[in-house]
Every structure is written in C-alpha cells, then in structure tokens.
Structure 1
C-alpha cells in the first residue's frame, strides 16, 4: 500500500514542524486573538468606522504610497548593485555582500537615530551643503515623508538585494553570449534575455520590501516625528493611548489582508511568467 506521505516528504515535514508550531503560537496566536476582537465577536463597527472615516483612508493611502516608493527606490538601487555583485570576482563579491549585510549588525533603533543626526536641520547633510554654498537655509529632510523613505530604504535595501542577486547568479552567461552571437544589441540582450530571467527575484524582493515597509513602525515614528502616520503607528496609538482594541484589531486585519494581496499578486505574476516561458 502506497503511503499518503512519502518517506522523504515525511522527514522534511518533521524537520519544519517544530518551527511551524513555534511560529503559529508566537505569531499567529496573538494575531488571531486580536482579530477575534472584531471578526470573532461579530462586531463589525470598527470596520464601518474605518470605511466611513476619511482619516483612516488617508493613513492607509499614505502607507501604501510610502511602501510603493520605498520598494521602487530599493529596486532601482538594488538591481545594478546586485548585477555588480553577481558578475564581480568572488573576493569583491564577498566584500560587497558584507557591506550589504552591515545594517543587520546594528539595531534598527540605533540606525534610525543615526539618520536623525544626519538629516536634522543642523545635521551633517545640511551643514555640509550650507558649508559648500549649495543651499542658503536648511532643507527639511526629517519629520516628513522624505525622511521616512530615506530611513526605510536604508533598512530594507538588503531585502531587495539578496533575492535579485540570487536570481542573477542563476542566469547562465552562455545565454547572453548566444544572443550577442545572433546579433542582439546590449539593450536587446538585457530586455529579452537577462531581465526576464531575473524577474522572479525582482518580484520576490519587491513583495518582501513592500510588505515590510507597509508595516513599518520605528522609522515613521522617529523620522516622521508624528507628522507621518502609517498603519502600524495608528495601531499602536489605538492600543496604548485610546485603548480601542477592536479598532486596532480591524486595522491589523486590514494590513494583513493587504500583505496577502500583494504576495498573491506577485505570485500570480510570477506564475504567468513561468507559463509564458
């Protein structure tokens, strides 16, 4: 009789099962408890409040805008950097990857405070620009959307680099050589050969950066200075200041649905790319 689960699959499932249990208890348990304040109890007033209040729509739209801009900027920075790392000598690539990993060796809070020192009205950047005579007065680089995006891009750039870098390392260089041999231009090789082969990494990195930036809290709280409110900041405000747990649960459901929607959309696009190939 053929077993329902092959032996190899069973062993792999046994290896990941403890991690899945811990993840379910630590992460999904509190999230389910928070969701039960609205969905489980049948109280849909918080959702109606979110739907009917333009303030919440403004916060959600602003969060999506910041997440989209962060993802696009990270992609524009990560793609050429990943190409350099994928085509460089092993020693140079190892050094470059170490620099990419460098932000992970420092606390997010410390990195954000460092950006506050750099971006402040009397910070290093404004002082340097004024010393060079490029500006007459300090530029507002903090306590606005610009500062939040700068800090978020710095934090999330590695999350874009590594998926794109991994996709580029899997590209066979002989394919480009064959395209050049058939008379293709550099732009033609990139557009028709290299870019399609690296799109999986691009989509994976974009989805990862978008989802993480959509739920960012520390960077908007410090570099936004209370003037830039994202969904996570609004949830914290509802829980700690207003004690409105049902509304916080509804906002948590909204951000979770948005994350799953982005992930599903990227998976759908990637699947269609595979089907087209």
Structure 2
C-alpha cells in the first residue's frame, strides 16, 4: 500500500477573476484619471454656469439678450464655416493628388502634410504674423512685383485669422479624405470610362459621390476644431476678431464673470458633443482617428 505521506497534496483551488472583472481592473486607472481630470472639471463648469453669480438660468438667457455675445457667436460661426469650406477644397485637391501619385511622391507629400503637425500652433501663428504684417515678406513681394502700390492689411482682421486657421487645419482635412479616397475601388471609375464617360463625367458621377463620406467627416472634424481656436485668432486677430475661446478668456481673467465664461464653455461643449454624435453617424470614428 502507498504511504499516505507519499501521496501528492492538492493545493487549494483559487477563484479566478471573471473576464468582466479583469477588464474593469485594466481600465480602472485610466477611468480614474478621466474622472478626476476630465469629468470632474467639466461638471464644475456646468455647475458654475447655473450658480454664478446666483442660481438660475440668467447666464444662458444672455445668449438671446446680449448683443455682444450674439455678435461674437456670429463671428465665430462665420469664421469657422469659411475656414472649413476653404480647408475642404484645398484638402480635397491634395488628397486626390495623393491617391493618384506614385509611392515615392506620396512619401514626400505625406512629409509635407505631417510636418506642420509637429510644429507648435504658437510658432506657426507668429510665423504668419511675420509673413503677413505690413513690412512682411508677402507685402514686400507683391509691392516689388508691381501688383500693389500700398501694403495690404493681412493681419489684425478676419483675413489673417482665416489664413492661420486654414494652414493649421489642412492636415486634419487631408488625412480623413485621403483615407476615404484610398478605399474607393478604382475599377468603378474604369468601368465608367469603359461605358463612354469622360474623365470629368466619371469623376462627377462616380468618384465624387463615393468620396463624400470622407469630405463630410473631415468637414465636421475641422469645424469642431475651428470653434475652439484660441491662439491663432488672438495673435493674428489682434483682439479685433473675437471668437468664443478668446471671449471666454476675457470674461474669466479680465472681467471676472465666471458665470458667463462657464456658460459659454458649457454651450461650446454641448455643440461639440452634438457635432461628434453627428460625425459618428456619418463615418467610423475609430477608423477616422487611426484605430484598427
């Protein structure tokens, strides 16, 4: 008979965590950081918008009664829409050229598209300030070539703000449109050409409709970024072209009207959330932002 001491001892069975529990344990640190540094500040902003200087919706009533706020909102909307439209036109042309370029040319074009993303928005705004001022390179070239007799006013107005914003937004317009164009089956265009359509007709009736989801996605993305612009309008606008982000800064830091500033921030947050929800219905956000 076998000695009981020689028998193998069985270790006690330890309960295993379920898949759901392990999932929550993995995301718990990121969730805690989001709650502390994102959700809590946003909730404070929403709370202040209805409690400062006194409880109620008086701050939100200013959206309908304050002429200065309405004028600022109209300026923000106008600049955002114009900059989005210009960005989409330029981005579509660049993305179309990227799709039909050779691999070697594509690498150089992508370098030109991505390099601006590596440069601070503050540096780019100051660079445009140097180029567009009355004694800047742009006016000097135009005057030396005889195209103008006096320097053009290209900064401290909406023109300078638009130039700076479009330059910053171009990569955010090019990449989504390119990602959509790259997935278009070129055999559809070849089939249209084979049926007798010219290049223009094939582009207008086949390629353009198939590329519209990328255009719509890029348009909403660029418009969302445009609504919250601060550095570029502050530098190139010279305080004469107030957009919502700079107006919020003035209300909080200079006039010390926390309620009005937080109300505008909350309004901007709601608008951006609605636009993101609309964007999610048009394109796959995971694919748009580079997820697999």
TM-score range, shorter chain: 0.7 to 0.9
Task: Provide the C-alpha distance between the structure 2 equivalents of 1:136 and 1:199, rounded to a whole number of angstroms.
Answer: 43
- TM-score, structure 1 normalization: 0.88
Residue 36 in 1 paired to residue 72 in 2?
A: no
Larger mean CA deviation between 161-170 and 27-36 belongs to 27-36
Q: Find the counterpart in structure 2 of residue 172 from structure 1.
A: 185
SS at match of 2:204: helix
- 1:258 is the counterpart of 2:271: yes
Which consecutive residues of structure 1, in runs of 5 or more, have no partner in the other structure? 1-6, 272-277
Maintained 8 Å contact 2:233/2:241 = yes
Cross-structure match for 1:187: 200
Residue 75 of structure 1 pairs with residue 80 of structure 2 = no
Task: Count residues in correspondence.
Answer: 265
Bigger Cα Rg: 2
Taking structure 1 as reference, are residues 173 and 25 closer, same or farther at Cα in structure 2, changes over 3 Å only?
farther
Q: Which has the higher helix share?
A: 1
Identify if the C-alpha distance between structure 1 residues 87 and 25 changes in structure 2 by more than 3 Å, giving closer, same or farther.
Answer: farther
Deviation at 1:131, TM superposition (A): 1.1
Tell me the distance in 1 between the aligned counterparts of 2:194 and 2:24: 47
Residues 150-159 or 177-186, more deviating: 177-186
Identify the residue that residue 257 of structure 2 maps to in structure 1. Answer: 244
Question: Using the alignment, how far apart are the partners of 1:192 and 1:267 within structure 2?
Answer: 26
- CA gap of 1:23–1:152, structure 2 versus 1, over 3 A, is farther
How does the TM-score come out when normalised to structure 2? 0.83
Cα pair distance change 1:12/1:118, threshold 3 Å: farther
Q: Which moved more, 1:259-268 or 1:9-18?
A: 9-18
1:77-116 pair list within 5 angstroms: 77-116=90-129
Shift of 1:24: 4.4
CA distance in 1, matches of 2:23, 2:212: 29
How far 1:87 sits from its partner (Å)? 1.4
CA distance in 2, matches of 1:9, 1:94: 43
